[in-house]
Structure 1
Amino acid sequence: MPESIRSTPLWPLPLSIALLFLGAVHLAWWLSMQQGHIPACVPYWDGCTSISRAARHGLGNSLFRLAVLPCALLHGLNWWLARAWLRRPERARDVVADAMLVLGALSALALAIYTTFLGTEGEIYRFLRRYGVVVYFGFGFLAQLLFLRLARREGKLMAGIGSAMLAICVAMLALGLGNVIASLVLTDAVLKDHLENALEWQLGLLLVAWFVLQAVLWKRARFAMVIAR
């Protein structure tokens, strides 16, 4: 009997990452605020709480873990599929594509570690949480830059979407530099903490926007998994 071929579009994957992350963070923030664990404010500009603090307590912590741990797995799958989409098939090895996959996988692992130990106490756990989130954002950002480079190299980066994704990367870099400068310049500990918190929330929102644009790119490119039955 002849084989039937079915294709499964892959653009819902990065969109799912964006929606899961966005939903988990804001649900945890709302629950913690309702239960009195954090002050009532809009953290994007007030900076009254960090993402970690908002997701550290009670039911918000449980739901945050429940959503973000699968999200970390989706991150790893996303970078593996991105490598398959952007790797040149005629090459036995593509160093840039491999580097993107390694950075993306380490970012996903860091997110899983951060989420696992969020809400726990102790110096070791605090170290794992702090550097887990730094590696997640840092290595994820580098993987995004390599994604853009590879997509441009392969002629798969559509002009409007590519410009928007690059603008988000530039904005993320600016926020990161702003955070470093603030930590060096500000002497008021409370003001510095609030500014760092606000920048963290804004960075998370930019990250979500990047994955939404990746979903749009893959949808327009009709990137799909072909399954023969």
Structure 2
Amino acid sequence: MSFGQQIALLCFLLSMGTIAVTYGVAIDQGTAEICNPFFDGCTDITHTGMKGDGGFIFRGGMIAACAFFVVWWQIMAVWLRQYTGALARGAMQLFGIVAAVGLLVGTAVLLPEKDAVRWGVHVRGANLFFQGMLLALTINYVLIWKARRRGLLVPSFGFKTLLMLCLWGLFIAFAGVTVGVEMSNGKRIIEWWATLFIGFYFISSWPDWRSVRLMAESGG
């Protein structure tokens, strides 16, 4: 397993895995109800990971995931270096890193007691994550599309295309729904699916980075 594959796997496990474990613990401790939030929107991700042991798992796991998101964007930039312009790669990295920082800050302020949470910071951080990540992934997809035309092998391109269609479909269909303190069931459903699609996009780089060279070649 290459370093790039390890990072792609860790990004997925630390984000999606943390959410899954947190929800399971919350159900076991009675701080969340048993349901399928992807279809009925019974709860949002934030409130699933606030109280009890699940809160500690959620904060620790998601903050760690944010660190690996930053590394993932660095690897992506190196992978595309020979096929794309520096300005476009820089914009991609900037939006991706800003999104990760937004999620980190938004997660760090969560506390077990709802009244003690700095909701303004959390909401801005969460929205920065979703909006920044959508921009970063869109730039990334366009750069990968151009790189393929120049000979870069991208086994996951079809899957990435499907994920981008799903993400933009959610964004357009619901007119850029934003995360808030109290959300309707419909908005919660969008949050769950958007988070899952973003997680899948990270792990989709697994087959692409099987033999990726991350060291820049020295100039001759």
Please classify the TM superposition score into its range, dividing by the shorter chain length.
Answer: 0.7 to 0.9
> What whole-Å deviation, never above 9, does each CA across 1:147-166 have from its counterpart, x for those lacking one?
122222223253x5212202
CA distance in 2, matches of 1:157, 1:145: 19
Which amino acid in the other structure matches residue 110 of structure 1? G
Unaligned runs of 5+ residues in structure 1 are 1-6, 184-189
Shift of 1:88: 3.6
Determine which of 27, 34, 50 is the counterpart of 1:56: 50
Check if 1:29 corresponds to 2:23.
yes
Identity of aligned residues (%): 19
Further displaced range: 72-81 or 30-39: 30-39
Structure (1 or 2) with the larger CA radius of gyration = 1
CA distance in 1, matches of 2:65, 2:98: 14
CA distance in 1, matches of 2:186, 2:39: 8
Sort the Cα spacing of 1:38 and 1:14 in 2 relative to 1 into closer, same or farther, 3 A.
same
- How many residue pairs get aligned? The number is 209
Which amino acid in the other structure matches residue 136 of structure 1? F
Give the structure-1-normalised TM-score. 0.82
Is residue 79–residue 214 contact of structure 2 (8 Å, CA) maintained in 1? no
Aligned residue in 1 for 2:212: 223
Counting only pairs closer than 5 Å after superposition, residues 1-229 of structure 1 correspond to structure 2 as 8-88=2-82, 94-119=86-111, 121=114, 125-155=118-148, 156=152, 158=154, 161-180=156-175, 193-219=184-210, 222-225=211-214
Q: Which has the higher contact order (CA 8 A, sep 6+)?
A: 1
Q: Which runs of 4+ in 1 moved over 3 A?
A: 120-124, 178-183, 224-227
Give the structure-2-normalised TM-score. 0.85
Unaligned runs of 5+ residues in structure 2 are none
Shift of 1:214: 1.5
Let me know the Cα RMSD of the aligned residues.
Answer: 2.7
- SS of the equivalent of 2:42 reads coil
Which amino acid in the other structure matches residue 12 of structure 1? Q
Q: Which has the higher strand share?
A: 1
- SS of the equivalent of 1:214 reads coil
Q: Which has the higher helix share?
A: 1
Further displaced range: 145-154 or 129-138: 145-154
